[in-house]
Structure 1
Amino acid sequence: MPSYELAMMIRAMPKVELKTTLMRVSNAIFDRGGIIRGIENLGFRPMPYKSSAHGLVHKEANYFVFKIDTATKVVADLKEEYGRDVDVIRQHVFKVNEDLDNKCTLEEELLPPAYRKEVQQMIEVGKTQVNRFTHKFKYNSGLDYYPFQK
């Protein structure tokens, strides 16, 4: 299952109601076969601009980030359900890219640039390209005349 981050803005409410809202959000993920890897509370803070959702204008919100693993088809269902939830002001799902395993050794970094693998590849690419400053007119190009005066 791919990994996602679910960023949510939940309306201002007491902690008891906030707990029930978070349980409802979590159960929706669990009911669809998802796994919650972590929940990060970013706190209660003012919104950058006032926003209206479900007929109310909100100026402050509780910010949460859920790190979840779930099937790709489930993401649309979760967005739809959270869009109907009156306690959720905004939600957005981000796909988490897998970290590439970049191996870097100190020996490679300490080599002079001409001996590094990446620089050698760039030099090879540069040799295959035509330099526009050193390009000369070919006399056997099929033109009957030299367009520039000698």
Structure 2
Amino acid sequence: MPSYELMVLLRIMPKGEIVSTLRRTADAIFEKGGFIRKLENLGTNPIPYKTSSHGLVHTKASYFLFEFDSPPSTIADLYEFYGRDIDIIRRRIYKLPEPMEEQIEECTLHDEIQPPAYRKSVQEMVALGQKQANKNKFKYNSGLDYYPFQK
């Protein structure tokens, strides 16, 4: 199952109501066959701009972050369910990238003693930089007899 991240902004409420809203949010994930990896409280902060939700205008919210695994077919249902919850001001679900297997290169003392210009990793970075520098260069044979961008 792929991993997802759910960012939830809750309206300002007493602690008991926040707990019940978070429990409803988590139960919806469990009912759809998912499981939660992490729940993080990011605190109560002002919203960058006024947000209208369920007939009320909000300027502050409690931010919570869920990391969960769920089948992809259930994400639309979860998004709709959270949209109907009157305690949730805003919700966003993002798919997390798959963890990449890191390729560990063996480093020897001989490689470390060499000057940077002779190291393979530095040579690859220089080649990449030269390739990108040549990519964006203006071509003077464009058919114009002048440089159009005020040199």
What CA distance in whole angstroms lies between the structure 2 residues aligned with 1:117 and 1:12?
52
Uncovered stretches (5+) of structure 1, i.e. residues with no partner: 127-150
- After superposition, what is the alpha-carbon deviation per residue over 1:11-57, rounded to whole angstroms, capped at 9, x for unaligned? 11001111110010000000000000110000111111111111110
Residue matched to 1:97: 97
Q: 1:46 to 1:115 in 2, by over 3 A?
A: closer
Residue matched to 1:85: 85
Say whether the 8 Å CA contact 1:114–1:120 is kept in structure 2.
Answer: no
What CA distance in whole angstroms lies between the structure 1 residues aligned with 2:30 and 2:69?
10
Residue 94 of structure 1 and its aligned partner are, at CA, apart by 1.3
1:101-116 correspondence to structure 2 within 5 Å: 101-107=102-108, 111=114, 113-114=117-118, 116=120
What CA distance in whole angstroms lies between the structure 1 residues aligned with 2:80 and 2:114?
54
Residue matched to 1:76: 76
What CA distance in whole angstroms lies between the structure 2 residues aligned with 1:96 and 1:111?
39
- After superposition, what is the alpha-carbon deviation per residue over 1:84-131, rounded to whole angstroms, capped at 9, x for unaligned? 1111111111111122223244436665544516846986xx9xxxxx
What CA distance in whole angstroms lies between the structure 2 residues aligned with 1:75 and 1:104?
39
Say whether the 8 Å CA contact 1:7–1:93 is kept in structure 2.
Answer: yes
Q: Which has the larger radius of gyration?
A: 1
What CA distance in whole angstroms lies between the structure 2 residues aligned with 1:120 and 1:12?
52
Kindly, what percent of the aligned residue pairs are identical?
Answer: 44
Q: 1:110 to 1:35 in 2, by over 3 A?
A: farther
Comparing 8-17 and 93-102, the one that deviates more? 93-102
1:24 aligns with 2:24: yes
Tell me the SS of whatever aligns to 2:80.
Answer: helix
Q: TM-score, normalised by structure 1?
A: 0.73
Say whether the 8 Å CA contact 1:3–1:70 is kept in structure 2.
Answer: yes
Comparing 112-121 and 6-15, the one that deviates more? 112-121
Tell me the SS of whatever aligns to 1:75.
Answer: helix
